[in-house]
Structure 1
């Protein structure tokens, strides 16, 4: 398997006030020490913006860059997102996937407006335009259905699949919280999936977000995201389905965390990441072994 890490698993997030933010040297060193050899970019400012400086830094920890999560307003007819997309592609460099989130323009992921027909038309048109822009540069752009963005619920995911051509980032956790069965998506739309974020989820807390009994950030802080194999998602079944369909992209481990303070040396989020790696290492998911321990 092509397994990568992500700074959000260490609580490093673009949302203001999200929680205590760990320094890059600690996060990257813990990735290296866990045997991870690739990572996503993290929020703006976490890693150097210059490609050469960033490549040197990541290389010093034995890491390569495989993608970057880029929040962009795509639904507003008064806003042209192409400059944002071009800048993100330039900053990521070759070989890394542009992972788009159709953000609301509001802070955080706890509320979102309702789109009208014009807003949806603008969003879908912009997705195709950015997809084409990336392809013209020999690159890949994907849309990440994400809680608290304009593409969250199953009907919205299906609208994107039916009305535009951009590939998807299959994030097992965000899909479930938004009401989409990630296993269903892996089985029925594998040809549209070009990037994967692996999360396991406490279904009870996910339901509280979906029914608006709890905010998204609150639920993450309460432990909604679980180490792989310890939640309510059939991670092994999803991986098997994608591998059998010929998926060749990366599996990025993401167990979003909210930290309240600096963890003691040798502890903290790395323990959950280690548990997820151990789950994936129990056997070859394409042959079915990890699924035996999944809910």
Structure 2
């Protein structure tokens, strides 16, 4: 497979849900782990975590990594909220442009996603039955997504859209409806798809031609189902340890990667093992666990890329 494997800050507990006062790995420490494990790229994480401009380019060059993409969450069904959020999209695009000045083999994929709602985030995998958009709100979501897509392309990048648990594009039927209306590739996230009630292999059969970015997760379904059965929200899922190292959960990573390979996929394969650490953790122990998991994850993917 002519694809490149990237790591992600979310696998080290660094993402939009990380408390501002949480102790986290230093950027160079994280990148050194990924470099030594044989990754070829890294996702952006929170804008600014790896720096900007020359600082970002030097950091990526030092660790021989390229920028794979990055998460840009927008309130797509809320016109006023969408307008207010556009500067955050433009800011992320400037960081992608900073990284692209180094002339990477693969350009980063700006990864667009819906913001969802508190009700949907509190009921991942169940929100589609309880809090669906009405037709007018759905039309706003479609229109604003296309505007964001056009804005990304005008900046010189090809966007991708992430179906995400806790948002209004979560369940397979919502993804179907979305893809039928918007001219954008799909980020297939194996873990979030399972939360939304989908099967990665069925999705690759249906939407394979639209998949232009891949987030690979393994999931311990017993842990996930226990969290959801107790009424847990996305924060509970992230902190539960439901996302596990490849081969220790219930996703058939081998079958998924074989299916992706059969499609002739040539983009980024981003390893994501989302984790939200507690405040009382030992950072040294946490680092050691994350390093071991990310080495294992990379080794599992070597037979394809």
TM-score normalised by length of structure 2: 0.84
CA distance in 1, matches of 2:301, 2:272: 13
Q: Which moved more, 1:139-148 or 1:193-202?
A: 139-148
Q: Which residue of 2 aligns with 1:101?
A: 113
1:192–1:231 Cα change, 3 Å: same
Residues 15, 107 of structure 1: 8 Å contact kept = no
CA distance 1:167–1:65, change in 2 (3 Å): same
**Which whole-Å CA distance do the structure 2 matches of 1:118 and 1:266 have between them?**
46
RCO greater where, 1 or 2, for CA within 8 Å and sep 6 or more? 2
Among residues 232, 243, 256, which one is paired with 1:214 in the alignment? 232
2: CA distance, partners of 1:213 / 1:266? 30
Alignment match, 1:9: 11
Deviations 1:73-127 (A, max 9, x none): 1110223254443332222114211001201365994357642222111111111
Change (3 A) 1:108 1:117: closer
Given the alignment, which residue of 22, 34, 41 partners 1:38? 41
Output the CA distance in 1 between the equivalents of 2:110 and 2:86.
Answer: 13
- The alpha-carbon deviation at position 4 of structure 1 amounts to 0.6
CA separation of 1:20/1:258 partners in 2, compared to 1, >3 Å: closer, same or farther? farther
User: TM-score when scaled to structure 1?
Assistant: 0.87
Aligned length: 283
CA spacing shift, 1:284–1:54, aligned 2, 3 Å: closer
List 4+ stretches of structure 1 deviating above 6 A.
none
Aligned partner of 2:268 in structure 1 is: 250
Cα displacement (A) at 1:252: 0.4
Aligned to 2:103: none
Alignment check: 8 A CA contact 1:144 1:168 kept = yes
Q: CA deviation at 1:10?
A: 0.8
Unpaired segments ≥5 residues, structure 2: 101-106
3-state SS of 2:176 partner: helix
Residue 289 of structure 1 is matched in structure 2 by: none
1:243-295 CA-partner distances (Å, limit 9, x unpaired): 211211110000011223212497121111111112223x348xxxxxxxxxx
Change (3 A) 1:89 1:256: same
The alignment status of 1:167 with 2:157, answered yes or no, reads no
C-alpha deviations, 1:9-50, integer Å up to 9, x for none? 1111211539642221221121122122210101133121x2
In 1, the alpha carbon distance for the partners of 2:151 and 2:257 equals: 29
Distance in 1 between residues matched to 2:23 and 2:296, nearest whole Å: 22
Counterpart of 2:277 in 1: which secondary structure?
Answer: coil
Alpha-carbon separation, structure 1, partners of 2:288 and 2:150 = 43
The one of 119, 135, 138 aligned to 1:117? 135
Q: Which residue of 1 is the match for residue 104 of structure 2?
A: none
Matched, 1:280 2:298: no
CA gap of 1:130–1:252, structure 2 versus 1, over 3 A, is same
Q: Assess if the C-alpha contact under 8 Å between 2:152 and 2:159 holds in 1.
A: yes
Q: In structure 1, what is the Cα distance between the partners aligned to 2:62 and 2:182?
A: 40
Q: In the superposition, relative to structure 1, how do residues 108 and 121 fare at CA in structure 2: closer, same or farther (>3 Å)?
A: closer
1:92 aligns with 2:96: yes
The within-5 A match list for 1:38-77 is: 38-48=41-51, 50-77=52-79
The CA distance in 1 between the partners of 2:188 and 2:148, in whole Å, is 18
State which drifts further: 219-228 or 108-117.
108-117
